[in-house]
């Protein structure tokens, strides 16, 4: 499973990238706002840092405007993926931009039917939002499973990019369900390393090493 980082925080991306944990990056207007930086400037910097796809989201609402904005965003770097919302206009924009050979990430997906439409429109990635479904007492992971099954039934090449990841558990569950990519905030990727038994075991080993007088070689 590929790891994308869901952030516009350059330092966080750099740290994870040095560990080989970054196969791509996703941003959205809220993450750009949080970074406090100009979208073109910060996106360019991310694209220079990371080899894989970097999603930059359009803010236009009509297909025509999304296509024009998507083309402009794609000029930032070769690894830009144009992110469009899963609306009818977004699907139209996806079709045109995909046919131009650009990578397109269709975002804000909350149903299997929406995912089916995105695949038909030639999306490179579909982004089902797990956490926001969980927030409504629905099961976001069920959606990942449904989309995986539908795409496999018909051999759609659109990659399932699990988004709105909130917990380390979401990561392993998505991997078990066969998501192609998970995009997660840096803190969730860090949290994947944590286990209470690791901490407890390490404490005991450190204590025993001190008592036995074992020194660092």
Residue with the CB atom nearest ligand E4P in the bound state: 164
Is-contact 9 186, C-beta < 8 A?
Answer: yes
Pairwise CA distance, residues 176 & 13, whole Å = 25
> Least CB distance from residue 106 to ligand E4P, whole Å?
10
Which range, of 40-48, 126-134, 147-155, 170-178, touches ligand E4P by CB under 6 A? Answer: 126-134
Between CA 27 and CA 47 the distance in angstroms is 12
Q: Looking at 1, 15, 120, 131, which residue binds ligand E4P (CB under 6 A)?
A: 131
- CA–CA gap between residue 217 and residue 211 (Å, rounded): 16
Cα 5 to its chain centre, rounded Å, is: 6
CB burial of residue 11 (10 Å; 0-12, 13-18, 19+): exposed
Marked catalytic residue, from 34, 44, 83, 92: 83
Backbone angles phi, psi at 179, to 5 degrees: -60, 140
83 is catalytic: yes
Tokens 């990942």 sit on residue: 144
**Least Cβ distance, residue 122 to ligand E4P (angstroms):** 19
CA–CA distance, 86 with 105 (Å, rounded to integer):
10
Q: Which residue from 17, 26, 124, 158 is in contact with ligand E4P, where contact means CB under 6 A? A: 26
Answer yes or no whether residue 29 interacts with ligand E4P by CB under 6 A: no
Q: Which is nearer to ligand E4P, 34 or 212 (CB)?
A: 34
Q: Does 163 bind ligand E4P (CB under 6 A)?
A: yes
Q: Which is nearer to ligand E4P, 6 or 69 (CB)?
A: 6
> Is 3 near ligand E4P (CB under 6 A)?
no
Catalytic residues, which ones?
A: 83
Which residues make up the interface to ligand E4P (CB under 6 A)? Answer: 6, 26, 28, 107, 127, 129, 131-132, 163-164, 183
């Amino acid at each position: 499973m590929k790891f994308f980082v869901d952030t516009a925080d350059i330092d966080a991306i750099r740290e994870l990238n040095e560990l080989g944990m970054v196969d791509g990056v996703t941003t959205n207007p809220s993450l750009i706002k949080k970074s406090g930086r100009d979208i073109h400037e910060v996106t360019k910097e991310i694209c220079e840092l990371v080899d894989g796809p970097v999603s930059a989201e359009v803010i236009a609402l009509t297909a025509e405007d999304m296509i024009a904005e998507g083309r402009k965003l794609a000029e930032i770097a070769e690894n830009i993926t144009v992110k469009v919302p899963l609306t009818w206009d977004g699907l139209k924009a996806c079709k045109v931009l995909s046919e131009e050979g650009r990578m397109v990430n269709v975002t804000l997906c909350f149903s299997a039917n929406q995912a089916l439409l995105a695949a038909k429109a030639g999306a490179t990635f579909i982004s089902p939002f797990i956490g926001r479904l969980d927030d409504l007492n629905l099961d976001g992971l069920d959606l990942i499973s449904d989309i995986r099954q539908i795409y496999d039934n018909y051999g759609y090449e659109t990659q399932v990019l699990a988004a709105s990841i909130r917990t380390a558990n979401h990561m392993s569950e998505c991997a078990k369900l066969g998501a192609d990519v998970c995009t997660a905030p840096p803190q969730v990727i860090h949290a994947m390393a944590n286990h209470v038994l690791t901490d407890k075991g390490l404490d005991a080993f450190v204590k025993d090493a001190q008592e036995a007088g074992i020194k660092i070689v």
